[in-house]
Structure 1
Amino acid sequence: MLVNIGMYERMIAEALHFGVLFYLFGLLSLLAGLAIVNLHNRWQMDWRVIITVLGWLMTIGGIIRIVLPQVAIAAGSTIYGGRASTIIVALLVGALGAFLSLKGYVRRA
């Protein structure tokens, strides 16, 4: 994302317009979130709770995109307000992905 930040900014701006794609993103987020919650609803106080929280956030985000699209568009416009926020989100997503990959693929002693 950081290498092609201009392209991602255009994609985000285009995705924040209500339409069929916005509804489809909400539906896919809802289905993926429900799958995660159904398969991994563990509230243990270790790193695995991150997966459960992400599943619930995806479920709630999908519902909001489908039922209250104006709220979702307003929130997305606030979060992705400029280049700096896009860079911060990209770094956070990359760090979270690296952390979960490390935890998921490193052999335990």
Structure 2
Amino acid sequence: MDAATFFALFWGWLTVVFATILFIRPNVLVDLKRLMVEVRAFALIYGLLSLLLGLASVILHNIWVLNWHVLITIFGWLTLLKGVTVIGWPEISKNTSFEVRIKSTRIALVVVGVLAVWMLVATYAGAN
């Protein structure tokens, strides 16, 4: 299995499973958002994991092409930037209203969820 296939399956399934859970159980999203703001240790662990996953993706698959493979790179860079932001600028979450954070996260979950499904379909179909 090459790196592109691995990351497409990894990011695709991770995103689909996570987005599905957060839509089926909205209270989980609310709890996660509260933890991010109220418990700095949770935010640091979340940020560190995001940083590591994003960095691994960017190092191993930083390919900017005009097909679905670019989604792997975009997911990696977004995860890396999320990790840097959560660790370096925690006040962004504290200064944003809770309702705005929940709504923006739900919108982002829909967008990345659809892109993840597209990436999974393309991977399983063997598209280049």
Q: TM-score, normalised to structure 1's length?
A: 0.77
The one-letter amino acid of 2:107's match is: I
Does residue 21 of structure 1 match 2:38? no
Task: Write the distance in 1 (CA, Å) between the matches of 2:113 and 2:87.
Answer: 27
- How many residues in Structure 1 have an aligned counterpart in Structure 2? 107
| Offset at residue 33 of structure 1 (A) | 0.4
1:1-109, aligned counterparts within 5 Å?
A: 1-74=22-95, 77=98, 79-82=100-103, 85-108=104-127
Alpha-carbon shift at residue 86 of structure 1 (Å): 4.9
Q: Percent identity?
A: 29
Q: Give 1:67 shift.
A: 1.7
Any idea what the Cα deviations from partners look like across 1:27-75, whole Å, max 9, x if unmatched?
0000000100011010112221111122112112211211221125446
Larger deviation: 89-98 or 22-31?
89-98
Q: Distance in 2 between matches of 1:75 and 1:51?
A: 29
SS in 2 for 1:2: helix
Runs of 4+ in 1 over 3 A off after TM superposition: 72-79
Q: CA RMSD in A?
A: 2.6
- The answer to which of 69-78 and 33-42 deviates more is 69-78
Moved more, 1-10 or 16-25: 1-10
State the partner residue of 2:15.
none
**Residues 99 and 87 of structure 1, relative CA distance in 2, 3 Å threshold:** same
Q: Distance in 2 between matches of 1:54 and 1:76?
A: 25
Larger helix percent: 2
| Conserved 8 A contact 1:18-1:69 | no
> Unaligned 5+ residue runs, structure 2?
1-21
CA distance in 2, matches of 1:45, 1:69: 34
The answer to whether the 8 A contact 2:30-2:102 is kept is no
Instruction: Report the alpha carbon displacement of residue 104 of structure 1 after superposing the two structures with TM.
Output: 1.6
**Partner Cα distance (1:19, 1:55) in 2:** 24
Gaps of 5+ in 1: none
